[in-house]
Every structure is written in C-alpha cells, then in structure tokens.
C-alpha cells in the first residue's frame, strides 16, 4: 500500500525557477564535490519523508478499518432494534414518536461516520499522489551550487547567531534542525537580496512572519521575519536594493537549490561574502 503524503506546512516553498543563472560558474572539482554532497542530502531527505509517510499510512489504514467496523456495528444494531419495536410502532402512537426520534439520532450518527470515512478515503488518494511525486523526485538531482563567497549578506555588518543544521531547542533537551540561518539584526534595518533575481512571493510564512521568496536562476532564497516590503511578486531585484526592513533582532535566511517541488536546502554561510 502506498504511503500517505504529509499535508500542510511547506506549500509556499513550491516554486518554479528558470535554469542556469549567469555568474554562478564553479570549477569542475569544487562543483562536483558540492553537487555530490547536495544530492546525498536530497536523497536522505526523500528517504526520511517516505519513512514518515509509511508510518502515517499505517495509522490512517488502522483508523479507516476502525471507522468502517464501528459503522457496520451501528447499522446492524439499528436494524435489530427497529425490528424489535415494529409491533409497538404499529399500534402505539407514543412508540412511533419515540422510534422516530431514536431513528433520527441514529441517522445523524451514521451520516457522521460516512463523512469521516469519505475524508479518510480522500486522504488516501492524496497519499497516492504524494507517493508518485516522491518517486519522480528521487530521479532528480539538485542544481549546481553557486560559487563560494559570491552572495551578498541580506544585512550588512551582521553575523550568524544560529547556524545551519542541528541545534538545541529552548529546553536544551531536544535537537532541532534548521534549513537556514539566523542573522543578527535590529528592528528597522534594511534587508536586501543575496543576488540579482525576481520576487516569487511576498507574504506570511508559518513561523517566519512576513517573508520574501526570490528566484536567482538555479537558486531560491527565503528571507523571513521582515516587515514593510517595498516589492511585489514578479518584481526584478538587484544586489544592494532595499526590499524590506527587519522586524526584530534577527532575520531568517534559507537558500535552496532547484530540484523537485521544494528544492534542496544548503548552508548559506560558505556562499556569503565576508561581512563588513
């Protein structure tokens, strides 16, 4: 049975980007090493997602079986009780009224079961589509990484306050994973793009507040925790152009190589020029 697709968070990152951005050339050796690493991370990401889908599919199948079993038992009980009351229903008006009320309540419960079962079947259908997408994306490879130290810091004179990858949560007991970095800032400081490109999306992203998604050829940047944007989707942007201002003491920066629907995140730090 095919695994279930996870719904919800991440849909805003499904961007379509043009191929081959000029100025991103790299030597064959360095490009090969980086591309192999990115491909390995992408394969690992797909594997984790499919494992998670398989677990969810098992839970969904179990829930569907329980709901269908409950519905069958309720329908059998309704039928038996209805037959048992037939003599009284025919000759006693009060019994007819009581039976009508009871059957009305039973019908509402049965219709609720039908709706829940329909929803479960709908989720299974979405699971099939998600599984097909994962299978198709497993044959893809991420685009080549930009050359190191060629991208502009979104905020000048800044520093990384939380790096890419694993970090400890607020309780220091649980390890979390970040697909981007946190850059120190101050509320109201100007935010610019990492490179020339075109705005794909401006608006809220869950957990990141107002954000900008910008296409840079084979690369996509996501800049979060900003406010007062001065650009709209479709606008061209260039290095050094102020696009918004920071909303707090840090902004979020994520870089994704184009592959599949959501791309493959990479560590921004080696790609950014040294801050002033």
Q: What is the pLDDT of residues 259-269, one digit of tens each?
A: 776 788 889 99
CA 240 to chain CA mean position, Å: 30
Per-residue buried b or exposed e for 227-249, using 16+ beta carbons within 10 Å of the residue's own CB: eebebeeeeebeeeeebbbbbee
Question: What is Dmax (Cα atoms) for the chain?
Answer: 94
Q: Residue 244's beta-bridge partner residues?
A: 191
Across 101-115, 200-214, 216-230, least confident range? 101-115
Distance in angstroms (rounded) separating the CA atoms of residues 259 and 219: 10
Residue 88 has what pLDDT? 62
Contact call for residues 23 and 150 (beta carbons, < 8 A): yes
User: What confidence tens digit (pLDDT) does each residue in 227-240 have?
Assistant: 999 999 999 999 99
Average pLDDT over the chain reads 78
Residue 33 confidence (pLDDT): 54
Given a contact cutoff of 8 angstroms between Cβ atoms, the answer to whether 272 and 150 are in contact is: no
- Is residue 159 very low, low, confident or very high in pLDDT (cuts 50, 70, 90)? very high
Task: Give the residue-averaged pLDDT of 14-30.
Answer: 32
Q: Are 249 and 187 in contact (CB under 8 A)?
A: yes
How far apart CA 143 and CA 19 sit, in angstroms, is 8
Specify the residue for token string 């994306």. 137
The pair of three-digit structure tokens given for residue 145, joined into one six-digit string = 């990484």
- What are the residues whose beta carbons fall under 8 Å from the beta carbon of 168, sequence distance 6 or more? 174, 175, 176
DSSP string, 109-170: HHHHHHHHHHHHHHHHHHHHHHHHHHHHHTT--PPPPPPTT-BPPSSTT--EEE-SEEEE-T
Percent of the chain with pLDDT over 90: 32
**pLDDT, position 212:** 97
Residue of 196, 201, 204 whose CA lies nearest to 227: 204
Angle at 138 between CA 134 and CA 139, to 5 degrees: 130
List b or e across 110-149, with b for residues whose CB sees 16 or more CB atoms inside 10 angstroms. eeebeebbeebeebbeebeebbeebeebeeeebbbbbbee
Q: What is the pLDDT confidence band of residue 6, given thresholds at 50, 70 and 90?
A: very low
pLDDT for position 35:
60
| pLDDT band at residue 101 under the 50/70/90 scheme | confident
Report helix angle 93-137 to 28-91, nearest 10.
170
Between CA 21 and CA 214 the distance in angstroms is 13
pLDDT one-digit tens code per residue, 182-211:
999 999 999 999 999 999 999 999 999 999
Judged on CB neighbours under 10 Å (0-12, 13-18, 19+), 2 is: middle
How confident is the model over 66-86, as a mean pLDDT? 78
Asked if the model's pLDDT at residue 109 lies above 90, the reply is no
pTM: 0.57
Instruction: Work out the pLDDT band at 275, boundaries 50, 70, 90.
Output: low
| Percent of the chain at pLDDT exceeding 70 | 74
């Amino acid at each position: 049975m095919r695994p279930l697709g996870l719904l919800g968070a991440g849909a805003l990152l499904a961007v379509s980007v043009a191929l081959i951005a000029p100025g991103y050339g790299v030597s064959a050796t360095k490009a090969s090493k980086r591309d192999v690493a990115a491909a390995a991370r992408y394969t690992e990401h797909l594997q984790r997602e499919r494992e998670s889908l398989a677990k969810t599919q098992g839970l969904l199948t179990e829930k569907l079986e329980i709901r269908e079993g409950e519905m069958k038992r309720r329908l059998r009980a309704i039928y038996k009780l209805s037959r048992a009351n037939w003599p009284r229903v025919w000759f006693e008006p009060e019994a007819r009224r009581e039976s009508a009320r009871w059957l009305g309540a039973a019908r509402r419960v049965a219709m609720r079961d039908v709706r829940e079962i329909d929803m479960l079947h709908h989720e299974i259908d979405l699971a099939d589509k998600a599984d097909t997408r994962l299978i198709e994306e497993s044959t893809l490879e991420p685009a080549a990484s930009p050359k190191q130290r060629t991208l502009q810091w979104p905020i000048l004179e800044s520093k990384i306050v939380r790096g890419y990858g694993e970090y400890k949560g607020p309780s220091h007991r649980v390890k979390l994973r970040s697909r981007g970095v946190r850059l120190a800032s101050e509320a109201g400081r100007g935010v610019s793009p990492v490179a020339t490109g075109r705005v794909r999306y401006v608006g809220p992203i869950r957990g990141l507040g107002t954000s900008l998604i910008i296409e840079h050829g084979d690369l996509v940047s996501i800049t979060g925790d900003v406010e007062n944007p001065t650009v709209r989707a479709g606008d061209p942007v260039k290095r050094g152009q102020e696009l918004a201002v920071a909303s707090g003491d840090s902004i979020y920066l994520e870089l994704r190589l184009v592959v599949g629907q959501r791309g493959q995140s990479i560590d921004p730090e080696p790609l950014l020029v040294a801050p002033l």
